[in-house]
Chain A
């Protein structure tokens, strides 16, 4: 169990701007969780990870793994990073070019505090790690003669060879090409489940986060703005920021038509007078300004007149597997993803239909 309480680290020189530091971040992770910190660059996700690793010294807060306190600002405890026993994969992989693959992976065993494993044990542990990442037989290779994907695997093997309680992954897929990234995404998840290690994964790629995680924390300006499983994050975004950062979202601004209880469905009246049904996760007061988020793929285009809204196709792109439309609804441009077999020409009048349950009042 990883517990983080009120973790704060502020970079003084950037105090007034959006970038820099984390503020009062707290979360608990049960053992074996694949946890993702997701957010745009500068939101504090990497800082959080580096605080856990011991690479940065937080200003305040506590970090503990199980009973062991790694950091506590009030009790003035700060375990040095090399005594934390954490595995980490860096964004650049940080494979040491002057060592072989074997020596890279064996390094954590060779510098371990206290009882160090013997020569035979090192050998078997490294080979085990190599086979876990699918690189058996690569041990003698110089580290400089590895492809990007292989370096990634070596970095992973080095991070897990000493059986850490916690595995930290700092945007490990961002340096790979698209096809390899897809493959490694599945591979990483499989591996994590196989070893069962608690993992914190940092990324700015929302599809990675959705595909791999048990839980996701979306961060903005140093704070966690929503935490939950991938489905909740995607379908029940808690704010305009989350809605627009995770996938594409149509944001429609209007006024709440009447008081709505938390978790109930209600109606929002748009500036042009039309009303749309939507879900209010936090309830709403009559007359309150409200923003509604609707995913492009939740909207079905119908004949004009039927459906919640009506509009005109202003742009249509054929994407192969799907078609993407920009629909002008009054002053608003609504993005819709639909079937591509039959394309609608620009200028076509359409109706827009969506279930109230897939339209979320986010603010």
Chain B
């Protein structure tokens, strides 16, 4: 007992590290372990290990379809990264660094997209670009033929939709880079005689380049693990990528879990390598970060007459990212079945779908479930990371290990985590499988790194002496935590909570394998409805849901601005 007392007395944070470390290890390590085990073993009908094999990997590297999936994944991720970077980057520069009109529209689109489930965007675009959609409709009318201008279920369609899906995030993150850039450097270039374009090419872009590269890698990692677009756009066109292969292998009867695990391990390995380069790149990006602190006022470029061209770009983007998808969803929600925009359809418009959403009991329960699971996950994550992030950021005992454990799940693409969590909790003798709990646990694992990130950077913004002063004044570690750290950190904790709450309600991939008929969440239910052809109801429900989430996203933005924490703590 005395040795434990002395151990604690030397640094009162030690028992916190031990307890949090245990919880994190129990959450994070089993999924990784089970994936590795499944990928190199054979199992019998009830899931017991029967032997060792390299066959799953062998199949993956020899099977022509598998190799094509790997290639498709790379093309898909690279293409959508490039598109989102160009679209989001141009927009960010125009809005943050020039005097273009309509700036507010860019923010509006971003806030609303933050609250909209990805799958709704995808469905709206499927309608707009699809066979019955207005674009091909117009083309057929113009040519009088029966051909389509564009087949949306193609690689080009996938890249187009995924690219625009990510462009708001790129806008937001690059926007903060451009905003923080020191205007003096650009003005010095202008004073030396450079034009706006020369300044952009020779000064602004090179300065932002490390941040741009880091962001490109980040989007690439997310796109590799993306599931919504490959599942809804790619699969009907028989275009498979790694994530949809994992999904297929898991839902076929009987499921080929070894093969799914092998694919997952391959993806985790790819992501881990990319993450390693990402962390190196983003460290580099910080070096160029020329924040000037207080009294800093950005001085935008004057584009002259060109500002109306810029304004047109902002306006077109606004239409593409927000107006068109919303109109499409509204149109779908007012019709009993899917058909293109036409005068003939107008008499059929009705609010019947909205009435169904409000009266059918399933929807209220679905919404409650989703909100509950997301709120529970966000709360648990912030409680854990408030402690772990503080100890890690202050280099307390075991801080490095806590940081590594908490951010370990970054290597899991959503669908792989779904497979792993399913496998783990099938074997754990707890009545979790098939309930909402298993989704909550998967969310906690998946979004833990975000909570960590918010708390970590929040702590770094607190002057160390604020805590030291409490210690010198006589407060122990726990009192300091309770009376000083947590109150001062509360803006970061609230921002992290809201962010996790929002993304948990957006993503489909994690929950798609874990939800069961009795325990559904929004994204999965929308997915099922789309597959079942209930487009009208899902559009009505999706619009109402988007409205609700937009309100929360607005709170998140206001909170982020006030607390000074970086929005989107990636």
A interface, CB within 8 angstroms of B:
53-55, 78, 80-88, 90-94, 96-98, 107-108, 111-113, 155, 158, 162, 168
Q: Mark B453-478, 1 if CB is under 8 A from A, else 0.
A: 00000000001011011111111100
Contact of B216 with A by CB under 8 A: no
Give me 9 A-to-B residue pairs in the complex whose CB atoms sit less than 8 angstroms apart, sorted by A's number. Answer: A55-B468, A81-B471, A96-B466, A96-B484, A98-B487, A111-B483, A155-B469, A158-B473, A162-B473
Chain B residues positioned under 8 Å from A94 (CB to CB): 463, 465-466, 468-469
Q: Are B487 and A92 in contact (CB under 8 A)?
A: no
Complex Cα–Cα for A53 and B484 (A): 19
Question: A88–B465 Cα gap in the complex (Å)?
Answer: 11
Q: A97-B488, A111-B473, A113-B474 are in contact. List 14 more A-B contacts (CB 8 A).
A: A80-B476, A82-B476, A83-B474, A88-B469, A88-B472, A90-B469, A94-B465, A96-B470, A108-B474, A111-B470, A111-B474, A111-B476, A155-B469, A162-B474
Residue B479 at the A interface, CB < 8 A?
yes
B466 with A80: CB separation less than 8 A: no
Q: B10 within 8 Å of A by Cβ?
A: yes
Select A78's contact among B10, B472, B476, beta carbons within 8 Å: B10
Bound Cα distance from A86 to B479, whole angstroms: 18
Known pairs A90-B465, A94-B463, A94-B465; A111 contacts B479 (CB<8 A): yes
Query: 3 tightest A-B contacts by CB?
Result: A94-B469, A108-B473, A94-B465
Specify which chain B residues have a CB less than 8 angstroms from the CB of A158 in the assembled complex. Answer: 469, 473
| Cα–Cα, bound, A355→B70 (Å) | 88
Tell yes or no: B9 within 8 A of A by CB: yes
Question: Nearest Cβ distance between residue B241 and chain A, in whole angstroms?
Answer: 46
Interchain CB contact (< 8 A) of B471 among A82, A85, A162, A168: A82
In the complex, what's the smallest C-beta–C-beta distance from A158 to chain B, in angstroms? 7
Cβ of B397 to closest chain A Cβ, rounded Å: 13
Q: Which B residues are CB-close (under 8 A) to A112?
A: 474
Nearest CB of B to A32, in Å: 21
- Using CB atoms and an 8 Å cutoff, list the residues of chain B in contact with chain A: 9-10, 12, 463, 465-466, 468-476, 479, 483-484, 487-488
On chain B, the residues within 8 Å of A55 by CB distance are 468, 471-472
Smallest CB-CB separation from A85: which chain B residue? B474
Instruction: Give Cα A92 to B465, complex, Å.
Output: 7
Contact A82 B465 (CB under 8 A): no
Contact (Cβ within 8 A) A82 B488: no
Interchain CA distance A85-B471 in the complex, whole Å: 10
Whether A107 contacts B465 by the Cβ 8 Å rule is no
Question: Is the CB–CB distance between B475 and A107 below 8 Å?
Answer: yes
* In the bound complex, CA of A107 to CA of B10 (Å): 23
Q: Which residues of B contact A80 (CB under 8 A)?
A: 9-10, 12, 476
Do B470 and A107 touch (CB < 8 A)? yes
Interface contact B472-A92, CB-CB below 8 Å: no
Q: Nearest Cβ distance between residue A80 and chain B, in whole angstroms?
A: 7
B9 proximity list for chain A (CB < 8 A): 80
Could you tell me the distance in whole angstroms from the C-beta of A26 to the nearest C-beta in chain B?
23
Contact B473 A107 (CB under 8 A): yes
> Smallest distance from the beta carbon of A90 to chain B beta carbons, Å?
4
In the docked arrangement, what's the CA distance between A28 and B490, Å? Answer: 44
Taking a contact as CB atoms under 8 Å apart, the answer to whether A96 and B488 are in contact is yes
For B475, give the chain A residue with the smallest CB separation.
Answer: A111
CA distance A107 to B488 in the complex (A): 15
Complex: how many Å from CA A82 to CA B480? 10
Cα distance, A38 to B476, chains bound together (Å): 31
Kindly name the residue among A90, A93, A112 whose own CB sees the greatest number of chain B CB atoms within 10 A. Answer: A90
| Chain B residues within 8 Å of A53, by CB | 468, 472
For the complex, give the distance between the alpha carbons of A83 and B474 in Å.
6
With a CB–CB cut-off of 8 A, which chain B residues contact A91?
A: 465
Q: Which residues of B contact A162 (CB under 8 A)?
A: 473-474
Interface centre among B466, B474, B475, B488 (most CB of A within 10 A): B474
Q: Distance (Å) between the CB of A139 and the closest chain B CB?
A: 17
CA distance A80 to B471 in the complex (A): 9
CB distance from B473 to the nearest CB of A (A): 4
Contact of A82 among B10, B472, B484 (CB under 8 A): B472
Residue of B with least CB distance to A113? B474
Option from B463, B472, B488 in Cβ contact (under 8 Å) with A87:
B472
